[in-house]
């Protein structure tokens, strides 16, 4: 069928169309039709048909990819479904447009501190360089991204997570939204059992299993990867029997389920504090509290969440009010009951010690050298924080370190090791960044690596990201000038940011590091190995060795990613040796 624009073009007496031979014009028409056909591509999912569009790469590569944005994978978790596991999206008739991203889930913007989002937010985006045609299906490996944000903010949208770099390496990329804050992680008895946000991720992975072949993806080659809270989410999914078979490789960047911020107490107390802060004056009955909270606008819940933090929360350097929990509601007979399939029913450390995790999944994980540079943001908000820590340095003791009776001695040991004779002040910020990087990130990541390598049946790879370049994300967003690689900075070397229009020299180190990161991550998704020996690759000049199960305690190998790629042993050796000693001495086990 001819469009109005085409008719207008061909009817003009001086049109180029009128002057060209009819045979040539038929060729032109076919070309235009093919562009139009490619620009709007329709795929059929199990629930209905979806129209996406073709767009060119914004990152310099030739060609482009197919983009399907705002695909609903779950029904809106509203009304009685608030605080419960979401249900799959129902089937539809006709063709749904997938040219625009869906709502992000309700949250407060990290930088602007403004409310954003809508509860009808269970959307995902699919990006692919090839779609099935006729009998041809490219069956490319699939990478499913779980965004970070402390379980409190963010989305999977292209503003931060542009697909250009990864999709150019012939993988299908899926990004998604999941519920955040109290809407995603409030617990209050059987009708709000917790982990709604993690169950959203699980539902999205089921959608990928059932539908990704229609987009050129292979449902039997799925890699789930994430950063920060998304990284610990990846690990919690690996610890849950509910995710079995939904993914086949896993990557955790700068986060672990064993980090002190990754798991909270399963308690209705925070829910009752939230309700009280928002005007509730009824009984302590959990059902009454939930009925009240279900009637409030989402914005009220999000804005009221920080007020549920206690002095102890701040003292433990957490500051995240609603996070994943071990599920389980105990009734009056002291029996554990569940009103929906629980995602995790034991503490992660116990699951690892009892070897209850998915052992056959290749795992890649690591950290950035100055993760806790985020600490500067807290300092800006509370200029007295350094003074508070100086007067209460015991708050630096990890919660899981058994220091009963020796608290003062342990406090002195930690202070002496990191600060020497310095006080906590502007002159010791670097030392505090090192301490918080170890306690809040690296210690848990190393423990995870040790458990997976020692007890798993699949290769485990560890990295240290040490390249301080122009594509560092969080440092730029937070306006940090000091040297070092901040939490989140590695993402600029995997994703194209919508708001970073940097014209980098193609020969710059940033482009080289970006190309290497993308190649190693997509190699892992394709082969379960970031530097496969059978692939001749001029980009990668170093073989990234998996960790030997026999050397996890004293000879931990890792890839140091900077301007060069170097395989090294024992990251931050002296600092981690200190913590191994502390845990062995006080807990009886360095693991």
CB burial of 247-265 (b: ≥16 within 10 Å; e: otherwise) equals: bbbbbbbbbbbbbbbbbbe
How far apart are the C-alpha atoms of 148 and 107, rounded to whole Å? 13
- DSSP-derived 3-state class of residue 41: strand
For residue 189, give the nearest of 266, 135, 241, 132 by alpha carbon: 266
Helical (H) or strand (E) element with 38: helix 22-39
Active site (annotated) includes residue 585:
no
pLDDT at 499 over 80: no
Q: Which of 119, 371, 490, 510 is catalytic?
A: 371
| Residue bearing tokens 């030392």 | 431
* DSSP summary character for residue 496: B
- Tell me, letter by letter, the H, E, C secondary structure of 268-336: CHHHHHHHHHCCCCCCCCHHHHHHHHHHCCHHHHHHHHHHHCCHHHHHCCCCCCCCCECCCEECCCCCE
d(CA 184, CA 192): 10
What interhelical angle do 286-295 and 269-277 show, nearest 10?
50
Does the pLDDT value for residue 406 go beyond 60? yes
CA atoms in the 13 A half-sphere facing the CB of 16? 5
Q: Of 101, 487, 490, 557, which is the active-site residue?
A: 487
Q: At 317, is the pLDDT very low, low, confident or very high (cuts 50, 70, 90)?
A: low
C-beta separation of 366 from 462 below 8 A: yes
**Nearest alpha carbon to residue 105 among 147, 137, 68:** 147
Strand partners, 329: 337
pLDDT > 60? residue 36: no
| Structure confidence by residue, pLDDT tens digits, 156-187 | 999 999 999 999 999 999 999 999 999 999 99
- Strands (DSSP E) contained in 355-439 are 363-368
Helix intervals (H) in 89-163: none
Question: Residue 463 and residue 560: Cα distance in Å, rounded?
Answer: 6
Residue 505 backbone dihedrals phi, psi, to 5 degrees: -60, 130
Surface-to-core class of residue 545, CB atoms within 10 Å of its CB (0-12 exposed, 13-18 middle, 19+ buried): middle
pLDDT band per the 50, 70, 90 thresholds, residue 430: very high
pLDDT band at 3 (very low <50, low <70, confident <90, very high): very low
SS3 content of the chain, % helix, strand, coil (to 5): 40, 15, 45
CA 534 to chain centre: 30
Residue 368: pLDDT band by 50, 70, 90 thresholds?
A: very high
For the question of residue 350 being annotated catalytic, the response is no
Active-site residue identified among 104, 155, 228, 557: 228
For residue 218, what is the enclosing H or E element?
Answer: strand 217-227
Q: From 349, 578, 532, select the one nearest 455 (Cα to Cα).
A: 349
Annotated active-site residue 227? The verdict is: no
Say how far apart CA 418 and CA 412 lie, in whole Å.
10
Residue 249: predicted pLDDT: 98
């Amino acid at each position: 069928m001819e469009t109005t624009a085409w008719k207008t073009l061909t009817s003009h007496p001086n049109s180029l169309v009128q002057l060209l031979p009819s045979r040539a014009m038929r060729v032109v028409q076919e070309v235009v039709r093919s562009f139009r056909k490619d620009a709007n591509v329709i795929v059929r999912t199990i629930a209905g048909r979806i129209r996406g569009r073709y767009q060119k790469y914004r990152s310099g590569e030739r060609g482009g990819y197919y983009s399907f944005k705002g695909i609903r994978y779950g029904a809106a978790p509203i009304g009685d479904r608030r605080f419960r596991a979401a249900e799959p999206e129902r089937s539809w008739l006709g063709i749904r447009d997938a040219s625009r991203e869906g709502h992000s889930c309700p949250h407060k913007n990290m930088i602007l501190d403004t409310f954003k989002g809508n509860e009808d937010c269970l959307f995902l985006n699919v990006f692919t360089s090839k779609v099935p045609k006729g009998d041809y299906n490219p069956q490319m490996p699939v990478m499913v991204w779980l965004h970070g944000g402390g379980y409190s903010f963010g989305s999977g949208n292209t503003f931060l997570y542009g697909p250009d770099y990864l999709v150019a390496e012939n993988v299908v990329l899926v990004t998604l939204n999941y519920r955040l804050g109290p809407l995603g992680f409030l617990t209050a008895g059987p009708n709000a059992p917790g982990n709604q946000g993690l169950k959203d991720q699980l539902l999205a992975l089921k959608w990928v299993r059932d539908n990704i072949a229609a987009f050129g993806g292979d449902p039997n080659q799925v890699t789930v990867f994430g950063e920060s809270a998304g990284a610990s989410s990846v690990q919690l999914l690996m610890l849950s029997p509910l995710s079995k078979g939904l993914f086949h490789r896993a990557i955790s960047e700068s986060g672990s389920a064993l980090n002190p911020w990754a798991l909270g107490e399963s308690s209705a107390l925070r829910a009752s504090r939230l309700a009280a802060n928002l005007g509730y004056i009824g009984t302590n009955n959990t059902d009454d509290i939930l009925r009240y909270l279900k009637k409030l606008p989402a914005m009220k819940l999000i804005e009221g969440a920080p007020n549920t933090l206690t002095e102890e929360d701040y003292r433990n350097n957490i500051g995240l009010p609603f996070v994943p929990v071990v599920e389980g509601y105990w009734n009056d007979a002291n029996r554990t009951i569940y009103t929906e399939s629980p995602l995790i029913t034991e503490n992660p450390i116990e699951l690892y010690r009892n070897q209850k995790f998915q052992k056959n999944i290749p795992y890649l994980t690591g950290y950035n050298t100055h993760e806790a540079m985020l600490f500067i943001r807290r300092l800006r908000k509370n200029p007295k924080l350094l003074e508070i820590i100086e007067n209460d340095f015991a708050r630096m003791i990890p919660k899981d370190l058994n220091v009963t009776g020796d608290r003062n001695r342990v406090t002195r040991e930690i202070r002496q090791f990191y600060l020497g004779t310095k006080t906590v002040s502007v002159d010791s910020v670097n030392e505090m960044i090192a301490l918080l990087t170890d306690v809040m990130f690296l210690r848990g990541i190393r423990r995870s690596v040790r458990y997976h390598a020692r007890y798993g049946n699949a290769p485990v790879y560890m990295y240290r990201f040490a390249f301080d370049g122009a594509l560092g994300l969080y440092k730029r967003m937070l306006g940090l000038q000091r040297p070092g690689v901040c939490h989140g900075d590695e993402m600029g070397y995997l994703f194209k940011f919508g708001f970073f229009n940097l014209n980098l020299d193609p020969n710059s180190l940033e482009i080289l590091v970006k190309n290497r990161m993308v190649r190693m991550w997509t190699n892992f998704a394709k082969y379960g190995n970031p530097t496969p020996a059978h692939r001749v690759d001029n980009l990668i000049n170093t073989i990234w060795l998996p960790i030997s199960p026999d050397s996890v305690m004293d000879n931990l190998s890792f890839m140091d990613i900077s301007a060069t790629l170097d395989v090294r042993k024992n990251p931050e050796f002296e600092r981690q040796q200190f913590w191994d000693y502390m845990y062995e001495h006080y807990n009886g086990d360095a693991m």
